[in-house]
Amino acid sequence: MIRKGRFNKPAAEIAQRYGESVSFDWRLYRHDIAGSIAHAAALARAAIITADEHQQIENGLRAIEKEIESGKFGWDHSLEDVHMNVEAALIDRIGPAGAKLHTARSRNDQIALDLRLYVKAETAEVASRLRDLQRALLHLVEKHVDVVMPGYTHLQRAQPITFSHYLLAQIEAFERDGNRLQDCLTRTNVLPLGSGALAGSTIVLDRERIAHDLGFSGVSQNSVDAVSDRDFVCEFLFCLAMIGLHLSRLSEDLIIWSTSEVGFLEFSDAFSTGSSLMPQKRNPDMAELTRGKTGRLYGNLISILTTMKALPSSYNRDMQEDKEALFDSVDTVRSALELFTSMLPEMKINRERMRAAASDPNLLATDLVEYLAKKGTPFREAHEMVGRIVAHSAANQIPLNQVSLAELKNFSSLFDSDAAKIFDVGSALTKRRAIGAPSSENIARHIALWRSRLVLTDESA
């Protein structure tokens, strides 16, 4: 804690332990050092430090960075945070020049800068891992492009789709996650450094040049707002929580489909676990853990929203609580994306089990409704008629596709011999040609589209 000058007594040891953050914010060191190097350059341009002092500071900071990366740097918890540890080490190395570095800067705008640099870097890393997962999904699409399966609503068989159509749906969801990250980046990519504690400084630095040096696209326009703002952290945590939501939903599908009762797929040995008691068990623990970790992502988002909701404007120490939630969510999502990218290609898909489940004629009851609708029957009337046919089928234990034409005509005179063609699953899927529907033509078009997008992303990276 900073005690010199204003205070006569040192802080209580218990207060130092309670208030320190270096045990977790040390991981911001690269961003803290990058910001300090840019700040030193601005001080030199403003003639606050000499060219020689500037060089000493930059050399000293780069040496400290290498020492941290090598694991030889000794973090001092009594110095409270990453900022004071780096600054104290710099002063110890180069003397008075190091003590000039903090001129026209506060830890308030320093941490706001470090967090923005960190979120920018992690946005790029998470986006890259999302792309890797999309590629893994696309490989599965191409490998199982023609596999028919039931689609479900309410966990009940609904209508036939293809497994590739299901997988393409997951790619779409993760694409929205990537778009959200990029949108969040536009509000993160604003330089707060130069805002001071809350009111700037009488020493005027070229903030636009600092922004350029650090790769920011803009400069904050109000110093009070700049040190108060953690919107970008909240928004980033929401983006990560949404990724968790989509991973959790995918996990739930795979878990259900891997059960003996369903048997659509099997996780590989490498991504399954056994039981401590039952030797026959193959448990989908990796998917279950991902489903569980999503709760942590939600909790981290709620924690920062709750912390920020009642703070007065400007900086308050409560905001120290943003970092552990942020770091935990980043670590959780990064590892989950990496895991799924490795796990999905090793799954064994039971094509025949899926195809058999999709052969349930009840899945085409809606097609029977549409058959009547195309012949002029109002949809609601057709829906009721087919509902009665399904009830008749169930009551008499006759599969829907084996109800005779004569029996069908008892429900509607519009039924003709071509009604039997309704129950050809391949034909039914072919007819689903509207944008977004699972016809083979649509799927082929979307495979080509995603191939192009993902390859273009590789080339532009």
- Please list the active-site residues: 154, 275
In whole angstroms, give the CA distance from residue 55 to residue 449: 51
Degrees (nearest 5) of the Cα angle 103, 30, 314? 50
Q: Which residues of 137-166 are buried (b: 16+ CB within 10 A; e: fewer)?
A: bbebbeebbebbbbbeeeeebebbbbbbbb
Are the C-beta atoms of 162 and 429 separated by less than 8 Å? Answer: yes
The continuous run of DSSP H or E covering 157 comes out as: strand 156-162
Rg (CA), the chain: 30
Residue of 49, 173, 25 whose CA lies nearest to 100: 49
Are the C-beta atoms of 353 and 370 separated by less than 8 Å? Answer: no
| Phi–psi pair at 160, nearest 5 degrees | -75, 140
* The total number of residues written for the chain in this structure: 461
Q: Would you call 3 helix, strand, or coil by DSSP? A: coil
In whole angstroms, give the CA distance from residue 420 to residue 408: 10
- For residue 141, give every residue at least 6 positions away whose Cβ sits within 8 Å of its Cβ, in sequence order, or none: 164, 167, 168, 171, 443, 447, 450
Instruction: Report the 10 Å Cβ neighbour count for 234.
Output: 19
Burial of residue 172, with CB atoms counted within 10 A of its CB: 0-12 exposed, 13-18 middle, 19 or more buried: middle
DSSP codes of every residue in 304-328: HHHHHTTPPSS--GGGGGHHHHHHH
Residue of 441, 425, 349, 454 whose CA lies nearest to 165: 441
The continuous run of DSSP H or E covering 153 comes out as: strand 148-153
Residue of 241, 247, 242, 246 whose CA lies nearest to 303: 241
